[in-house]
Structure 1
């Protein structure tokens, strides 16, 4: 039996939930095709190791017999890490199994393992996470969807290939004229939203959640929202509060600014410990007042020159010089640091022109160089790094940067702390900042309300936020963000290279139920890979997808798919 669209959004959701809220959706892990089971008792919150929480292998129900497509694995974070996303993934997997007849299993993993399995190993069928923390969209789109990036670890984990799109993205990246890039970006969006190698499920807001008695003046930037450099240097502390007190649901894994895996928990720390040639203000504009470079000039299509502050120092007291800047760019490029491969592909060399000027020679023309490279490469001290031969594997115990915050301590598995660097040109107003590891959202909110914490850097959009946002001690601030929860199929797996299958899967995703019932109406339904937050680079003129099981099944039928008596889908022969 095929449920009506209304039933999909109401009956299915209610069937999956329990008195404890959306936690009951964990039972949907291990969904099977046809009328296959919900299974399990709601799970224990996920320990990050079980492949399906009811212990099944996701493929032994009678409803799966006769399907000529493989078992698909939807990787999921543990419920304790991000409960709403965990529940949304289980709901989507249930839709694919029960309503489209796919043979589904859900693999619950610790977040770092999940991230590596998808982004480095390409070992998955479907993935969903919060993505697109960037200031320049096409640089990231080129990394994610360029046909030349499909080998493991190169960036294109979807496996999507389109030579025409490759050419268009290359033209955009080499185009110096901003108005021309706008038209090119619109065409890029139209191609991607028609082929749907990835689909925004929800357009997530940037959220500042804080104790209003202790912290104020929250300003976001485009890429990192309310965790940005711009946010931190503009915060104002209230009363006698001098410590910014945050949390994260899991521990940091490294102090190596060149050796982390680009998870937000590391980015938000290193963005304060290190300087960058260019920093952005809250209008996504390069701002020389708060940047290491006080001026810059495009000499020609492939050459940039930067004027560097000559009165700045490293946290250990050594002078920061133009030589350090040139060293950084050459060192990252020469050592092929994987974390910055997207940026280093545009770097040929860097050279010191004089004591305050550095010239960057590009390997190929890059129009938005400041947004795509200069804003993203951390400047590192030559005297600390020159003798390290394998920088991405270096064991760094006490990092030395030049940013507005200095390393103080790291109690692995427990807490990380930084202190104010008094001599920074863009100082923060607080004396120290710590992040405490707190997995449970209820504990976070208790601490936020009583002042043991005073901000929520993880930005959870969940039931706890809905219930506590009106508390007299809590302040919230939201704005349109470039970020979204993505749904990405792995086109390397049988059946998922079919664009009609991908479009049907998108139509089967209950985006409205996820927004309204799991995320309490805070985000918008996803519809475009380039958010309105990017201003004129965004276009409304893209393919939109009906949210309908009937539409999904009709599309599959028109493409030659059928279902056997058990409800299992049959691919066209």
Structure 2
């Protein structure tokens, strides 16, 4: 990634970045000089440095605890830990400790500014925010784990995997109590019930849509997270050398989650191998047991799934040409005939059965969403299979079959430990065959001429006006350039043909200053999600959640930093308007810092002489303790009949 010092130097000579600089300057100035606030953890002190002073301030009604700690408030089926990794304690009358906020500047070019927006929002209501910029792989490994987040707020942009646009479950089901990806320990009983119901509705999209819409309304009204924006995907490509880039939502024309550009591109010069510059490298050639990220996406160029997704988010045939439910838990699939593995062996139903059985037996890490609901697989013929599901699964014929990856039985059946296997020559049926891999620097594949995606008619049917005709490219190379500055230089010098990732507006504009290089923008169905840690007593207070949501200036961020390149959802709704599952009649609390302060004041929060927000005290503290209990954490003060403490 580009260092901030270098970025700031470039900004001083780029007039297009004036608004962004003003945003940064305002955010930094607004948070400069904040003292370490007193209050909430056992080791902190008050603004005078006297920890005993807090005890004198506290006015606790009889029978009410003086402190409320971060803890597991429910029995979690997926959590074995005794307590959450976050330590944050609420104390009657004490000033709030700084709120830990985690992000990764590797996630998007403007994530630092987004984090500063949250810091400024917190300051607006009298709270200090402590920002922690972590390496992206560390954020995944240590923060987004089953026991829960390590920070009060942890933000990230969801990846553009097709499954997130095809079905609401990849985003909504994270808020289900039994989901292992429920990193924020969020549990809303009514929402949980709706999510359980909708995921089993098969064959009746209208009924399912009603349930999914109600789930969105509940989540947004409850402020289950801060869903800031759906950021546009911005990148830069060389159109002088290549024609046929496909503007795919979420992925853009150069991402790795879809292969439509690569099978559609037509060379305009003598160069026939397409080179993408990237900043992330692959760790192995084992797709089914990949840890996610670069290796999983790029290796899918070699393998096929049962179905695919178009840029319009339609499910289309891949290795399976047809599928039907024979009852709520039985699916029969017709498989494509005449398909061969890259080594010439025929693809059959036996490969599908073997694949599912192997994934289940050895717990494939990257394929859980595909095989998890499958109880057993039956071979009904050379090119026909039956899946017997454990339960009715509404997402099986969208999210799961598109997510699937089928591997060759004849190559994997002799592997003793699939999780530790690293194939020297990955064999698939996909549109590209493996050529070479230099770990950390280069990955190369070659065109599979026999693949259906290289047929002009196939692409015309599914790409419409974006389809290009011709012989196509001969291969694709991913080159790890190291950082964005180097990547932009390589693009301008013609050493690479496209940026295989996202850029900021200014970065893409600078690249487009060179002949033949163009900025390309696509819309996105993957939200930027600021997760809130619901085991934390502060977050459990809905009055605080609503106030904080009102303090976040999403529109200002999109205007000043992203120059309008994003979609702002109606309230805290993770389901994009690009998908048919979105409902726009969700609660939107709007941006109003004064209104946020009024909410906190009525809930009994106070401010000291330095404008530091303090937890409620006396009778207001008793009301706070009542609001954070399991039966009340999703209710407003008025619903509980609590007084106006202002």
- TM-score bracket for this pair, using the shorter chain length: 0.7 to 0.9
Alpha-carbon deviation of 1:353? 0.5
Task: Tell me what 1:510 maps to.
Answer: 553
What are the Cα deviations for residues 488-518 of structure 1, in whole angstroms up to 9, with x where unaligned? 1111223112222222222222323321222
1:177 is aligned to 2:204: yes
Task: Tell me what 2:261 maps to.
Answer: 231
Tell which deviates more after alignment, 370-379 or 455-464: 455-464
Contact 1:230/1:280, CA 8 A, preserved across alignment: no
Task: Tell me what 1:436 maps to.
Answer: 479
> Which residues of structure 1 form unaligned runs of 5+?
1-14, 39-58
Task: Tell me what 2:540 maps to.
Answer: 497
What are the Cα deviations for residues 313-349 of structure 1, in whole angstroms up to 9, with x where unaligned? 2223332221111111222223333433333331111
Alpha-carbon deviation of 1:211? 0.8
What are the Cα deviations for residues 418-456 of structure 1, in whole angstroms up to 9, with x where unaligned? 222233232392212112223432332232233222222
Change (3 A) 1:254 1:440: same
Change (3 A) 1:344 1:556: farther
1:413 is aligned to 2:443: no
TM-score normalized by the length of structure 2: 0.75
Alpha-carbon deviation of 1:146? 0.3
Query: Separation in 1 of the partners of 2:220 and 2:159?
Result: 16
1:36 is aligned to 2:81: no
Alpha-carbon deviation of 1:473? 1.4
Task: Tell me what 2:110 maps to.
Answer: 84
Q: 2:189 aligns with which of 163, 177, 181?
A: 163
Q: 1:559 aligns with which of 572, 597, 603?
A: 603
Contact 1:34/1:566, CA 8 A, preserved across alignment: no
Change (3 A) 1:370 1:214: farther
Change (3 A) 1:471 1:521: farther
Paired residues for 1:44-443 under 5 Å = 67-78=94-105, 82-96=108-122, 98-120=123-145, 122=148, 123-131=150-158, 133=160, 134-149=164-179, 154-175=180-201, 176-207=203-234, 209-221=236-248, 224-226=251-253, 227=255, 228-263=258-293, 265-288=294-317, 291-388=318-415, 390-427=417-454, 429-443=472-486
Contact 1:189/1:542, CA 8 A, preserved across alignment: yes
> Which residues of structure 2 form unaligned runs of 5+?
1-7, 37-43, 55-93, 456-471, 622-646
1:549 is aligned to 2:578: no
1:533 is aligned to 2:578: yes
Paired residues for 1:451-470 under 5 Å = 451-469=494-512
Contact 1:138/1:169, CA 8 A, preserved across alignment: no
Tell which deviates more after alignment, 462-471 or 483-492: 462-471
Contact 1:511/1:526, CA 8 A, preserved across alignment: no
Query: Separation in 1 of the partners of 2:370 and 2:326?
Result: 19
Tell which deviates more after alignment, 273-282 or 130-139: 130-139
Change (3 A) 1:511 1:258: same
The DSSP-based 3-state class of the residue aligned with 1:184 is helix
Query: Separation in 1 of the partners of 2:229 and 2:563?
Result: 12
Contact 1:252/1:412, CA 8 A, preserved across alignment: yes
In terms of Rg, which structure is larger? 2
Q: 1:478 aligns with which of 512, 521, 540?
A: 521
Query: Separation in 2 of the partners of 1:396 and 1:553?
Result: 58
Alpha-carbon deviation of 1:68? 4.8
Query: Separation in 2 of the partners of 1:511 and 1:316?
Result: 52
Alpha-carbon deviation of 1:484? 2.2
Task: Tell me what 2:636 maps to.
Answer: none
